[in-house]
Amino acid sequence: MDLPSDNIKKGVARAPHRSLLKALGLNDSDIERPFIGVANSFNEVIPGHLHLRQVAAAVKDGIWAAGGVPFEFGGIGICDGIAMNHEGMRFSLASRELIADEIEAMAKAHAFDGLVLIPNCDKIIPGMIMGALRVNVPAVVVSGGPMLAGELEGEKIDLNSVFEAVGAALTGKISQEQVDRIESCACPGCGSCAGLFTANSMNCLTEALGLALPGNGTVPAVDAGRIRLARRAGARAVGLVSESLRPRDIVTPAAVSNALAVDSSMGCSTNTVLHLAAIAHEAGVGFNLASVNEVTAHTPHLCSLRPAGSYHMQDLNRAGGVQALMKVLLDAGKIDGSARAVTGMTVAEQVEGAGVLDHDVIRDIKNAYHPTGGLAVLFGNLAPAGAVVKESAVMPEMLRHKGQALVFENEPDLVEAIEQGAIKPGSVIIIRYQGPRGGPGMPEMLTPTSAIAGAGLDRQVALITDGRFSGATRGASIGHVSPEAFAGGPVALVEDGDEIEIDIPGRSINLLVDEGELKRRAAAWQPRPPRYQAGLLSRYVKLVHGAETGATLG
């Protein structure tokens, strides 16, 4: 079987290449083995990545034991929590494309036969997968695993608890001393933040896509099972090379549909819609936002994890993990059991031995939290190309809402308005010019959503943006409004006092302004210059497409 690494190790013309490989400490027998790139996103900035050197060491042990040669290399990673609510958040989504480029460049330049991808947080996971799909050599994902929940006065807390404490403090509900206690207990150690936020959502969906071994999404970062899983992943990468099972063989329309079903049944972060769209694009698989509603319409909501519910990732792991959930969905005919996975089995074969160990954490179909899935895509004259909301995290009284618009064009002004008590119950808050091009980079807005929740307004106020929200968000927070304001989308035409009608069960979002008036406003609208005239974000604005495409480039 011909392998990519043959191009750097076979024949007399490759003597210089072999000489350099020997400079790494390899001998002739090592050079004959499959070469496996180990993409390790370790850094000392992200708590979810702090322990990834240990994970990578186990992966490499597994590769050696299975007859391959590991080559570890690094990759960038941005902590969205630390980047939140300042200029740094504009770089987060853009970093996904840089990470994909890194994987493609390293794998192609060094002719790797296979890859093990070691991400853990936010944009790093989809970025690595996107790069692997471009290269299309056998690949397996093994994340660093979720953080354990913190505890304060007998109650489990997490990072979202801190953000909501900020909102409570801004409105005088709690003291600075109470905030200090919460911030010191919420994040007890390494791992991706403990709720079903974007990182853990995506790590669970790597199992649903078939790109990771069972347990990848839920085994805690500090559990020895995470190291055992990493060792198995390394060995499996070598097996995938011998079987020639590649990412594009796995990420098929059936796999993407399965991922959407698991996403819906768990009530994952709205960011997963962006990332699944981008992954499908790299795999050459069709994806449109309407398909999200088609899947959620017949997929019940079976798990209610933080921020929508009270359970954390460690509870889902204890209850049987993603594989147990997939078994429930498979038995109910909600996912395609013929899809393939990196285990070498079909989904049906892989989940055969899985079972639910706690029927409150993973509910039965007949006892679902909601009869339909956790995500919804809304369409209407305010969002002709769609907008996304985490329906499972919306209070029942806010599922349908009509209110007057209160328009902001940056986060600080909104946070100041909340602090001053200027947000009236019933309002529909608009934060615009935050999209892929207008932001740029669709900055996440966890601070204002958490401040609204902390102020007790999440049952009375809706928030709409052409940017996006953290997976930690709860309430009627509607993001990804497309077309975005920067492109002249209808959200750019909204004025204070306009009535907006939201019908999440009906999948609609409309600006109740006369069509003639909207045409007059559109004729008067003037495009804005990009915020950045040089550097990464300047290039990004020139290349990025709308949120409805997954904010892909090209």
Indicate which residues carry an active-site annotation. Answer: 470
Q: Cα(465)–Cα(69) distance, rounded to whole angstroms?
A: 47
Sequence-distant (6+) residues with CB within 8 A of 449 are 458, 463, 469, 470, 473, 474, 475, 477
Q: From 472, 467, 490, select the one nearest 410 (Cα to Cα).
A: 467
Kindly write down the DSSP assignment for every residue of 2-13, as one continuous string: --TTHHHHSSGG
Task: Name the strand (E) or helix (H) holding 531.
Answer: none
Task: Label residues 482-506 b or e (16+ Cβ within 10 Å = b).
Answer: bbbbbbebbbbbbeeebebbbebee
CB of 138 within 8 A of CB of 113?
yes
> How many other β-carbons are positioned within 10 Å of the β-carbon of residue 127?
29
Q: From 346, 193, 206, 215, select the one nearest 262 (Cα to Cα).
A: 206
Query: What are the residues facing 387 on neighbouring strands?
Result: 378
| Residues 474, 478, 480, 485, Cα dihedral to 10° | -130
Q: Which residue has the tokens 């790299």?
A: 282
* 3-class SS letters over 394-440: CCHHHCEEEEEEEEECCHHHHHHHHHCCCCCCCCEEEECCCCCCCCC
Structure-block tokens of residue 15: 């003597």
* Single-letter amino acid code for the residue at 531: R
Sequence-distant (6+) residues with CB within 8 A of 182 are 152, 157, 161, 162, 165
Sequence-distant (6+) residues with CB within 8 A of 409 are 431, 432, 433
CB of 398 within 8 A of CB of 493?
no
Where does residue 16 rank: exposed (0-12), middle (13-18), buried (19+ CB within 10 A)? exposed
- Determine the length of the chain: 554
Where does residue 438 rank: exposed (0-12), middle (13-18), buried (19+ CB within 10 A)? buried
Q: Cα(219)–Cα(237) distance, rounded to whole angstroms?
A: 20
Q: Cα(278)–Cα(256) distance, rounded to whole angstroms?
A: 11
> How many other β-carbons are positioned within 10 Å of the β-carbon of residue 12?
6
**Residue 278, CA distances (Å) to 17, 40, 96, 112, 357 in order:** 35, 21, 10, 24, 34
CB of 254 within 8 A of CB of 84?
no
